[in-house]
Amino acid sequence: MTVEIKVGTPTLTVHQGYTFAASEPDGQMHHGGDRGLYFLDTRLISTWEIFANDKPWTLLNSGAFAASAGKVYLTNPELRSGTGTVPAHSLGFVFGRHIHGGMHEDIDITNHGNAPARFDLSLTLNGDFADLFEVKANKIALRGEIRTDWREATQDLTTRYRNKEFSRAFRISTQKNNGPMMFANGKIIFVLNLRAGETWHACLLYDFADGDQWIVAPTLCVSDYEHSDAAKLMKHWRESIVKIETSDVGFNRIFSQALDDMAALRLPLRDTDDKKFVPAAGLPWFVALFGRDSLVISLQTSVVHPEFALGALRVLAKWQATVRDDYRDAEPGKIHHELRQGELAHFKLIPHTPYYGTADATPLYLITLHSAWMATGDRDVLSAHMDTAEKCLEWIDKYGDRDGDGFQEYQTRSPVGYENQGWKDSGEAVLYPDGSCVKGPKALCELQGYVYDAWLRMAQIYEALGKNDRAGELRAKAAHLFKQFNDAFWNEDVGYYAFALDGDKKQVLSIASNPGQCLWSGIVPPDRARRVADRLMQADMWSGWGIRTLSANHVAFNPYHYQIGAVWPHDNGFIAQGMKRYGFCDEVQKIARAITGAATFFERDQMPELYAGTTRESNSFPVQYLGANVPQGWAAGSIFSLLQAMVGFQPDAPNQMLYIDPALPDWMPQLTIRDLKLGSQSFDIKFERCGEDTMFDVVHGRKDRIAIRPMQEWAKLLHGSL
């Protein structure tokens, strides 16, 4: 008999936009932890506890049935009052929570006993208005004043925090309740007297304020969620994006959940009437605008929702740096890393206003611009962002290459800046073979690949704009970087690329996953590509659940550590796309099987940000990383990267062509993609594995607009050699 194991963290989270509520599974938020109701990087509510006669309820079950809504089923302990005893488990308590703008909570309590039940239902609420950064660091300081106002006449409770001009607030009111709400001793109280079989219902509405601007709660009850604005928006999202059907049930479920995660992580573009969205990085700590994350997600989702790229390109251009500011690691032309809106950012007590400590977002912006153009064919996308792109190119030459040696290096100038500014950005992520931290400035191998790829893609854009001289200049620079990189980073004795060059330009020969992303960017020659792929699939790097971030043979390896041993799905997705670029289909299929197989073990088939790099065995399962963001944009997007790799997705919307290079695995011999957009065209394509080959049929759309083209030819086109 097969036993299904599901791995997850004991947290109930509902979220929408810049707001999320993270609670214990019973819906409660206890004082002293990191649970709470967060809005624009501020924890509005830090304590939320509900009692019957001052006794806690007993959890039966709970879950989020949508990203923005969840339910909790509770029952009572034995309750004693002056009118008698309420037997344990005679009351059924169904509690719902829904966020859309503000937050709506439903309380339904049914007396299943055969006698009346009289008791006090009390809700303890406290708001510490702590900045998210301080909650995460467990170093909370109150800088302003908190005031709570109870208005009996209107039955609402308002709590406001103010520190000079910075202000946040929440307001609680009721609707549809069968009795008055009271407020005493810091508690909201309802006096219930239920006949046998009677149900008491109340709605609690939470409005939030940023300064004087109020965001109101949805009035529809959670039980009517299917008719809510949130449900309608989700339905519209589902109808507007790519759908798939495969012969692998697990992949279908994972893909569906990834689409839901992407919808849930959408952030509206603030201070604009544009209807486009940009993806947040992940919950709970990264519900914010990140440069690297939004661009990576845009590249991952080009097959399912190219509009993400349009939103990201626009909003990141708005925040492109114009001056040098060492406190924020900003230089003219640089794309930012992270923008925050809490109290610490408001008073510039942290540099995230925004903070620019990322070395890769700027070349990734250029890659995303090219990808968006290829997916949409819209010349207006180019004209709208060419000025931003030119500034990115200038930054790469002037600031990305700090010492003029032709390589991209980084080193923070800020006293509070990030030590590491690639995607592996934890302080100890870049290590020498002896386990000590690499001394900077650091030239990561994948940064060179990103710039190489960006130059080639921008050359193709300049050719389309009739600027052949500029295109030739960028191709020449790319060719020079290609040779220079392969001379300086390759180590023949090891048979692998250096992780990085340190501040003395010496090779850092720790075996890590980073060279795998060099396959994605194409800076690896074909003869070495095979050796890189083989090295990544050796036992010290290949866990069975995916490729580890660091070799298990490294002295610092820890399978449970953030970036020195764990498996990151997005990293594996990009590596798989890189392997497909060189025609290594067997490795692509192996990675896809491992990553999607791991996802099926997690709650709701929801891919976490990362998981432990433990070795897969016949009786093992993937281990959740403590503190992993779930949902997380990169992780959900990894499924779309794997789909792109298996299909060999090569959109060419400017020429109204979709090129593919499909190779389905034996574990998923059938795949149908519906509503695949290419500019103004739409296609339904059915793929089927026949022996070792994969055939396709265009079920809907112009058949002459889809053709087979090996990925190697696509790469040659970028070089201008076809």
Same domain assignment for residues 343 and 403: yes
Torsion of CA 322, 325, 329, 335, to 10 degrees: -10
Statement: residue 288 has pLDDT above 90 = yes
Q: How many C-beta neighbours within 10 Å does residue 473 have? A: 14
Domain end call among 196, 228, 260: 228
Any domain includes 153: yes
- Give the DSSP letter string of 210-266: ETTEEEPPP-S-GGGGGGSHHHHHHHHHHHHS-EEEES-HHHHHHHHHHHHHHHHTE
More confident residue, 630 or 321: 321
Q: Please report the pLDDT score of residue 185 as a whole number.
A: 86
Domain end call among 199, 228, 257: 228
Mean pLDDT of all residues in 591-599: 97
- Bridge partner list, 12: 23
Same domain assignment for residues 410 and 477: yes
> What is the C-alpha to C-alpha distance for residues 621 and 291, in angstroms, rounded to an integer?
33
Same domain assignment for residues 293 and 334: yes
Q: How far is CA 64 from CA 99, 286, 623, in A?
A: 12, 20, 22
Tens digit of pLDDT for each residue in 511-569? 999 999 999 999 999 999 999 999 999 999 999 999 999 999 999 999 999 999 999 99
Same domain assignment for residues 205 and 248: no
Statement: residue 271 has pLDDT above 80 = no
H or E element that contains 673 = strand 670-678
Same domain assignment for residues 565 and 617: yes
CA-based nearest residue to 361, from 314, 421, 449: 421
Q: Please report the pLDDT score of residue 722 as a whole number.
A: 40
Contact 115, 123 (CB under 8 A): no
Any domain includes 712: no
Contact 576, 638 (CB under 8 A): no
Same domain assignment for residues 327 and 408: yes
Mean pLDDT of all residues in 205-210: 98
Could you tell me where the beta strands, DSSP code E, fall in 332-411?
A: 338-339
Q: Which long-range contacts (CB under 8 A, 24 or more apart) does 496-500 make?
A: 496/531, 496/532, 496/535, 497/445, 497/524, 497/532, 498/445, 499/430, 499/444, 499/445, 500/430, 500/438, 500/442, 500/443, 500/444, 500/445
Report cis status (omega within 30 of 0) of the bond before 665.
Answer: no
Q: Please report the pLDDT score of residue 721 as a whole number.
A: 53
Percent of the chain with pLDDT over 70: 98
> Which amino acid, one-letter code, is at 721?
S
Same domain assignment for residues 185 and 257: no
Q: Please report the pLDDT score of residue 6 as a whole number.
A: 65
Any domain includes 716: no
Which residues in 274-289 are b (16+ Cβ under 10 Å) and which e? eebbbbbbbbbbbbbb
Q: Please report the pLDDT score of residue 626 as a whole number.
A: 86
Alpha-helical regions (H) of 118-186? 132-137
Tens digit of pLDDT for each residue in 688-720? 999 999 999 999 999 999 999 999 999 888 887
Could you tell me the maximum CA-CA distance found in the chain, to the nearest angstrom? 90
Statement: residue 1 has pLDDT above 60 = no
Q: 163 burial class (0-12, 13-18, 19+ CB within 10 angstroms)?
A: middle
Mean pLDDT of all residues in 410-423: 97
| Alpha-carbon dihedral sign for residues 399, 402, 408, 413 | negative
Residue with tokens 């349009």: 310
Tokens of 601: 């073990």
Same domain assignment for residues 134 and 93: yes
Statement: residue 128 has pLDDT above 80 = yes
Q: Please report the pLDDT score of residue 4 as a whole number.
A: 60
Same domain assignment for residues 587 and 451: yes
- Rama region for 436: left / alpha / beta (φ>0; ψ in -120 to 50; rest): beta
CATH number of the domain within which 294 lies: 1.50.10.10
Mean pLDDT of all residues in 396-403: 97
Overall number of domains in the chain: 2
Statement: residue 507 has pLDDT above 50 = yes
Q: Please report the pLDDT score of residue 694 as a whole number.
A: 97
Any domain includes 686: no
- Bridge partner list, 105: 97, 204
The per-residue pLDDT of the chain, averaged, comes to: 94
101-115, 179-193, 389-403: least confidently modelled range? 179-193
- Bridge partner list, 497: 490
Any domain includes 58: yes
CATH number of the domain within which 115 lies: 2.70.98.40
Tens digit of pLDDT for each residue in 31-62? 989 999 999 999 999 999 999 999 999 999 99
Domain, as residue range, for 108 = 12-228
Statement: residue 658 has pLDDT above 50 = yes
Statement: residue 270 has pLDDT above 70 = no
pTM for this predicted structure:
0.95
Q: Please report the pLDDT score of residue 582 as a whole number.
A: 97
Any domain includes 696: no
Domain end call among 616, 637, 652: 652
Any domain includes 704: no
Same domain assignment for residues 183 and 302: no
Same domain assignment for residues 302 and 169: no
Any domain includes 676: no
Same domain assignment for residues 385 and 481: yes
More confident residue, 3 or 433: 433
Percent of the chain with pLDDT over 90: 89
Q: Please report the pLDDT score of residue 365 as a whole number.
A: 98
